[in-house]
Amino acid sequence: MTFPDTAPTIRHIREAARRIAPHINRTPVLTSASLDGMTGCRLFFKCENLQKVGAFKFRGACHAVSLLDDARAARGVATHSSGNHAAALALAARIRHIPSCIVMPENAPGVKKRAVAGYGAEIVFCRPTLADREATLEKVIQRTGAEFVHPYNDYRVIAGQATAALELLADMPALDFVMAPVGGGGLLSGTALTVRAVSPATAVLGAEPAGADDACRSLQAGRIIPQTHPQTVADGLRTSLGEKTFPIIQRLVQEILTVSEDGILQAMRRIWERMKIIIEPSAAVPLAAVFEHPTVFRGRRVGIILSGGNVDLDHLPWPSTPE
Amino acid sequence: MTFPDTAPTIRHIREAARRIAPHINRTPVLTSASLDGMTGCRLFFKCENLQKVGAFKFRGACHAVSLLDDARAARGVATHSSGNHAAALALAARIRHIPSCIVMPENAPGVKKRAVAGYGAEIVFCRPTLADREATLEKVIQRTGAEFVHPYNDYRVIAGQATAALELLADMPALDFVMAPVGGGGLLSGTALTVRAVSPATAVLGAEPAGADDACRSLQAGRIIPQTHPQTVADGLRTSLGEKTFPIIQRLVQEILTVSEDGILQAMRRIWERMKIIIEPSAAVPLAAVFEHPTVFRGRRVGIILSGGNVDLDHLPWPSTPE
């Protein structure tokens, strides 16, 4: 199947869901009576923290790998990432029994290096600059002929991420809002494509840290404003929108809400305490938006995509000591 | 409905499931490819940590409350507990709009007092001895006429706890084993009643800390050996079997496996890291048994009931500092 170089349609998204179904976890949608009581709305959490590799990123990586013909696949896949996309692509490649090569900055945390290596990827280190990252990846691709799978600026990846909202709407119809965090915009743009097609009366919102609010500023400016010097604990949301994700978001997302750092940590902690699930700071950003923009949500049915659950348990964002 | 004063039959358990269905969470059964890889078996985790109040205890408490006729219910319910049963009974009473009174030792952790008070229960403090606990409860019952709902030595409670295994077997048939942790034995006896009736080829196992191994010793002795001076991080499993739970376990449970304290903490941490869900130490005991008794489980399909997820996030059993 050749995948179009335009925004995926709902037909492509449904086809992506069918392709990745044998490999992904069909994650549950959880609710919390106590969080509903605290917020005054009805919240439906699509738990992509319980997805394979602990993040929605596996959907897009798995979809991109599934689209390669055998000859192309045999040369492997490559990307630059120190986050969840790296582990996702490594696992997707392993499942198809093809090689993967991940370019990581040499100062990436040991826990992330071990995770990617644990999925069987080759790791090539680079200096921690965007220029060296891209140059190193280019060399890898020239050497191996591997297919580059970008973390978000790739329609195959966007179509894969879009399948989380497809499952959410199948399980929980009649939502007033669906909200996802926005970093590079792969999840948010995919979510918006699905929701617009499947449930046009549902509004799609993005949520991002005030300290990394390039999506909000880009929508206001009508063009991509790259994120410089992001200041946020939400490490998955420090990237800038891409030229493939921005136009979709511009067309289909109603609003981007921004939240404070305190709000992110408080929302994260509330989900741990009340729902007994582990989410990473980036995944807490939409719930923080519910708390910080209460009038938007009061009395409404709100679907939230919990994007991931990868945290270093030895370095939680609050101090903890054995009793 | 009058509930029999004998071990519940599968008909009673199915009726319990029907009664509590509007109030409980139908918790998901989660799997983990990485834990399957580490253990060499297929594990199916019934996530009662995601149950209301964060523990299976809500099933039994909710069932006991549902069986009271209106006149009896109006006088309220009472128990002595500083753990999950206290919160479970308080919430079950609140849902039925009846009073609840919980006798707690005055030295119970503040986080537990607040949880129970948060569900609207009256708390009556006692000195931290079994004698004063029982005497204080007796006074409460004389004053209020409340119905005593024991944490485990009560057939209504046992039938409620039995519904977790009913859901597990409905979602995941053809299990070789179902394993639950054992403290007072309410969960394990209920699980055994369900499994024997619904899937007689499935063996039922209990798991307990070596430092609180009264169930193992009781089965060997053929009579209840009370637990004295339990030494374990698994605070939900320090109690002794009751005269209602022991005979059921003796008749229907194949074996009680014991595990080390290190094994409990390692299993707990592995579930947090790999499955992105929060479980309390007691809930980690069955997975610890899989790791410490590997030959029993290799190649088998093993259902595990994750009993609860209530931990104090400021006092995890490992040190953590912000980066």
> Per-residue pLDDT for A93 more than 90?
yes
Give the burial class of A266: count Cβ atoms within 10 A of its Cβ; 0-12 exposed, 13-18 middle, 19 or more buried: middle
pLDDT tens-digit readout, B149-187: 999 999 999 999 999 999 999 999 999 999 999 999 999
Q: Dig out the tokens for B307 from the structure.
A: 């009993």
Round to whole Å and give the CA distance between B83 and B113: 10
Residues in chain A whose beta carbon is closer than 8 A to a beta carbon of chain B? Answer: 25, 28, 30-31, 33, 49-50, 52, 54, 269, 272-273, 275-279, 309-310, 312-323
Q: Using 50, 70 and 90 to split pLDDT, how confident is the model at B80? A: very high
CB atoms within 10 A of CB A220: 11
- Is the domain spanning B10-56+161-306 CATH 3.30.1110.20? The answer is no
Would B10-56+161-306 and B58-148 be classified into the same CATH topology? Answer: yes
Tell me what pLDDT residue A312 has.
92
Q: How far is A160 from chain B (nearest CA, A)?
A: 21
Give the burial class of A25: count Cβ atoms within 10 A of its Cβ; 0-12 exposed, 13-18 middle, 19 or more buried: middle
pLDDT tens-digit readout, A138-178: 999 999 999 999 999 999 999 999 999 999 999 999 999 99
Q: Do B322 and A321 touch (CB under 8 A)?
A: no
Q: Do A314 and B318 touch (CB under 8 A)?
A: yes
**CA nearest to B320 within chain A:** A314
Mutate to test the interface with B, among A276, A278, A312 (most CBs of B within 10 A): A276
Which residue among A25, A313, A315 places its CB closest to the CB of B322?
A315
Which residue among B278, B317, B323 places its CB closest to the CB of A276?
B278
pLDDT tens-digit readout, A267-294: 999 999 999 999 999 999 999 999 999 9
CATH domain A58-148 topology? Rossmann fold (3.40.50)
Q: Using 50, 70 and 90 to split pLDDT, how confident is the model at B323? A: confident
Q: Using 50, 70 and 90 to split pLDDT, how confident is the model at A319? A: confident
Round to whole Å and give the CA distance between B93 and B99: 6
CB atoms within 10 A of CB A243: 8
Which residue would you say has higher pLDDT here, A156 or A322? A156
pLDDT tens-digit readout, B25-64: 999 999 999 999 999 999 999 999 999 999 999 999 999 9
CATH code given to domain A10-55+155-306: 3.40.50.1100
Round to whole Å and give the CA distance between B35 and B37: 5
Round to whole Å and give the CA distance between B10 and B28: 22
Mean residue pLDDT across chain A: 96
Q: Using 50, 70 and 90 to split pLDDT, how confident is the model at A252? A: very high
> Per-residue pLDDT for A1 more than 70?
no
Tell me what pLDDT residue A289 has.
98
Judged by phi (left if over 0) then psi (alpha if -120 to 50, else beta), residue B174 lies in: left
Which residue among A25, A30, A321 places its CB closest to the CB of B315?
A321
Judged by phi (left if over 0) then psi (alpha if -120 to 50, else beta), residue A255 lies in: beta
Mutate to test the interface with A, among B232, B273, B320 (most CBs of A within 10 A): B320
At a CB cut-off of 8 Å and minimum separation 6, what does B317 contact? A322, B233, B265, B268, B281
Round to whole Å and give the CA distance between A151 and A186: 8
Query: Dihedrals φ, ψ of B27, to 5°?
Result: -75, 150
Q: Do A276 and B49 touch (CB under 8 A)?
A: yes
Average pLDDT over residues A42-64: 98
Round to whole Å and give the CA distance between B141 and B79: 9
pLDDT exceeding 70 applies to what percent of chain A? 99
The answer to whether A305 and A48 are in contact (CB under 8 A) is yes
Q: In B, which residues are within 8 Å of A277 by CB distance? A: 50, 276-278
Q: In B, which residues are within 8 Å of A31 by CB distance? A: 25
Q: In A, which residues are within 8 Å of B320 by CB distance? A: 313-316, 319-320
Which residue would you say has higher pLDDT here, A254 or B81? A254
Q: Do B323 and A309 touch (CB under 8 A)?
A: no
Q: Do B50 and A275 touch (CB under 8 A)?
A: yes
The one-letter amino acid at A221: A
Reported ipTM: 0.94
Q: How far is B252 from chain A (nearest CA, A)?
A: 31
Q: Using 50, 70 and 90 to split pLDDT, how confident is the model at A311? A: very high
Q: How far is A86 from chain B (nearest CA, A)?
A: 17
| DSSP strand pairing (B177-181 vs B301-306) | parallel
Q: Do A315 and B309 touch (CB under 8 A)?
A: no
Tell me what pLDDT residue B115 has.
87
Round to whole Å and give the CA distance between B282 and B293: 18
**CA nearest to B268 within chain A:** A313
Q: Dig out the tokens for B107 from the structure.
A: 């030295």
Which residue among A276, A278, A317 places its CB closest to the CB of B322?
A317
Residue ranges with strand state E in B53-164: 77-80, 100-105, 122-126, 147-148
The one-letter amino acid at B93: A
Measured N-to-C along each axis, helices A84-95 and A110-118 cross at an angle, to the nearest 10 degrees, of 10
Q: Using 50, 70 and 90 to split pLDDT, how confident is the model at B296? A: very high
Q: Do A49 and B276 touch (CB under 8 A)?
A: yes
pLDDT exceeding 90 applies to what percent of chain A? 91
> Per-residue pLDDT for B2 more than 80?
no
Round to whole Å and give the CA distance between B277 and A45: 14
**CA nearest to B47 within chain A:** A276
Average pLDDT over residues A66-72: 97
At a CB cut-off of 8 Å and minimum separation 6, what does B235 contact? B83, B280, B281, B282
Query: Dihedrals φ, ψ of B277, to 5°?
Result: -125, 155
Direct distance between the N- and C-terminal alpha carbons of chain A, in angstroms, rounded to an integer: 57
Which residue among A309, A310, A322 places its CB closest to the CB of B319?
A322
**CA nearest to A119 within chain B:** B34
Nearest to A306 by CA among A64, A47, A35: A47
Average pLDDT over residues B264-285: 98
> Per-residue pLDDT for B1 more than 70?
no
| DSSP strand pairing (B42-47 vs B29-30) | antiparallel
CA neighbours closer than 13 Å in the CB half-sphere of residue B233: 24
Which residue among A276, A315, A320 places its CB closest to the CB of B314?
A320
Average pLDDT over residues A260-268: 98
Round to whole Å and give the CA distance between B302 and B296: 10
Domains of chain B, by residue range, sit at: 10-56+161-306, 58-148
Q: Do A323 and B313 touch (CB under 8 A)?
A: no
Q: Which contiguous run of DSSP H or E holds residue A304?
A: strand A301-306
Tell me what pLDDT residue B164 has.
98
State the DSSP code for B126: E
Q: Dig out the tokens for B259 from the structure.
A: 């595990």
Mean residue pLDDT across chain B: 96
Tell me what pLDDT residue A97 has.
98
Sheet holding A100-105, edge to edge: A122-126, A100-105, A77-80, A147-148
User: How many CB pairs lie under 8 A apart between chains A and B?
Assistant: 79
